[in-house]
Amino acid sequence: MQSYIEKAEKVFMHTYNRYQIVLDQGEGVYLYDVNGKKYLDFAAGIAVFALGYGNKEYRDALKLQIDQLLHTSNLFYNVPSIKAADKLLEASGMDRVFFTNSGAEAIEGAIKLARKYYYKKHGASDSQIIAMRHSFHGRSIGALSITGTKKYREPFEPLMGGVVFGEFNNLDNIKSLINNKTCAIVMEVIQGEGGLYPATEKFIKGVRELCDAHDILLIFDEIQCGMGRTGSMFAYQNYSVEPDIITCAKALGCGVPVGAFAAKEKAANAFAPGDHGTTYGGNPFATAAVNKVFELFDKMQILKKVNETAPYLHQKLEELTIKYKCIIDHRGVGLMQGLEFAFPVNEIIKKAMDKGLILISAGSNVLRFVPPLIIEKEHIDEMLVILEQCIVDSLP
């Protein structure tokens, strides 16, 4: 394993401080490194592997598509993309979709669509977007421009203009930022990298009302919190609120790189031929994965499963919060939970990996729990035994 790591450090750009593990294969909710060591995975490739690893029906569907047709350009139609679009629109309540290669690309497309909507309405290109402080939307230039965390943006400025940042869950603050140039308000329904903060019902419904009153497009970033993670297919459905545009990725393909932005008709109609495009987005292989993911979500009753196991995870993390004074907060929804500690959590994460448990952080002092959606209570118990040992070993 060390020889692989040494080679990687010579050939990759140093954009990640990687954990000293070379993963080789997975099965169910477990991963294995090249030395055969087994790890219980509570990160799921950062909320990607909703169906776990090695699902035979999923693998067979991809193998079949490889043999049939891997790629065409978007100058032609292909059957998997049409079927996948239909399934995504039915699940989301949106009217039209554009498939991308990633979440960041989905965000870029959503920004363009919102700006084109404003341009078509006003004949001007001086629109403004309201984004949220402590948000994270991706690392491309447009996505960085609406990411409300200074450390991500500063090295790459000047970024895209026309963006102002408001306070998440502060409706009065957002209201004060709206003017006649505001074309969109963009927000994560649950802030992920920002520390696992869910939107309050008052805030999310209030923002929807503001958008309706001022003809502003509401964009929900569901890249991490969508696709069943909160017990609904999309997190906004827990609030009975609909956006004008959504972005999704991660578990949309359960490992195959694919994203999408979808919109209601009034927003989608702003695009005309030539306004947006992609070479690989929506190709037969990627959308065959999307099709099979939706089929398996239904067949395996994933939403029902999340609603059965998530309360147990929540209860057990609450018990830890009460037991250890070093845990200063517990928050989250469904199988997207976070524990905030009074100190950085990196040592806990390293100790956990040594003991065969994969965890990740959300910021420096929040442990993030985003396991595969197929976990059972026994896996939660297994995780808790290791986690508690690591907490005790990390106490000052």
pLDDT in tens, 78-134: 999 999 999 999 999 999 999 999 999 999 999 999 999 999 999 999 999 999 999
Q: Are residues 324 and 375 in the same domain?
A: yes
pLDDT at 363 over 90: no
Domain holding 36: CATH number?
3.90.1150.10
Write phi, then psi, for 185 (nearest 5 degrees). -120, 125
Strands (DSSP E) found in 189-342: 190-191, 197-198, 217-221, 245-248, 259-263, 327-333, 336-341
Average pLDDT over residues 291-296: 98
**Which of 319, 295, 289, 313 is closest to 372 using CA atoms?**
313
Give the pLDDT confidence score for residue 38 in this predicted structure.
98
Tell me the residue range of the domain where 310 lies: 2-54+301-394
Q: Are residues 356 and 263 in the same domain?
A: no
Asked whether residue 61 is domain-assigned, the answer is: no
Asked whether residue 235 is domain-assigned, the answer is: yes
pLDDT at 67 over 80: yes
Q: Are residues 105 and 200 in the same domain?
A: yes
Q: Are residues 50 and 190 in the same domain?
A: no
Q: What is the pLDDT of residues 131-159, one digit of tens each?
A: 999 999 999 999 999 999 999 999 999 99
pTM of the model: 0.96
Residues whose CB is less than 8 angstroms from the CB of residue 21 and which lie 6 or more positions away in sequence, other chains included: 1, 33, 39, 353
Residue 269 CB-density burial (10 A; 0-12 exposed, 13-18 middle, 19+ buried):
middle
Average pLDDT over residues 37-42: 98
Q: Count of domains in the chain?
A: 2
Q: Are residues 277 and 340 in the same domain?
A: no
Cβ proximity of 50 and 229 under 8 Å: yes
Q: Are residues 179 and 278 in the same domain?
A: yes
How many other CB atoms are there within 10 angstroms of residue 49's CB atom? 25
Asked whether residue 62 is domain-assigned, the answer is: no
Q: Considering 269, 299, 329, which residue would you say is the last residue of a domain?
A: 299
Q: What percent of the chain has pLDDT over 90?
A: 98
Q: Considering 282, 299, 316, which residue would you say is the last residue of a domain?
A: 299
User: Which residue in the block uniquely carries the two structure tokens 């008709």?
Assistant: 265
According to DSSP, residue 155 is labeled G
Residue 69 CB-density burial (10 A; 0-12 exposed, 13-18 middle, 19+ buried):
middle
Domain holding 220: CATH number?
3.40.640.10
Give the pLDDT confidence score for residue 396 in this predicted structure.
75
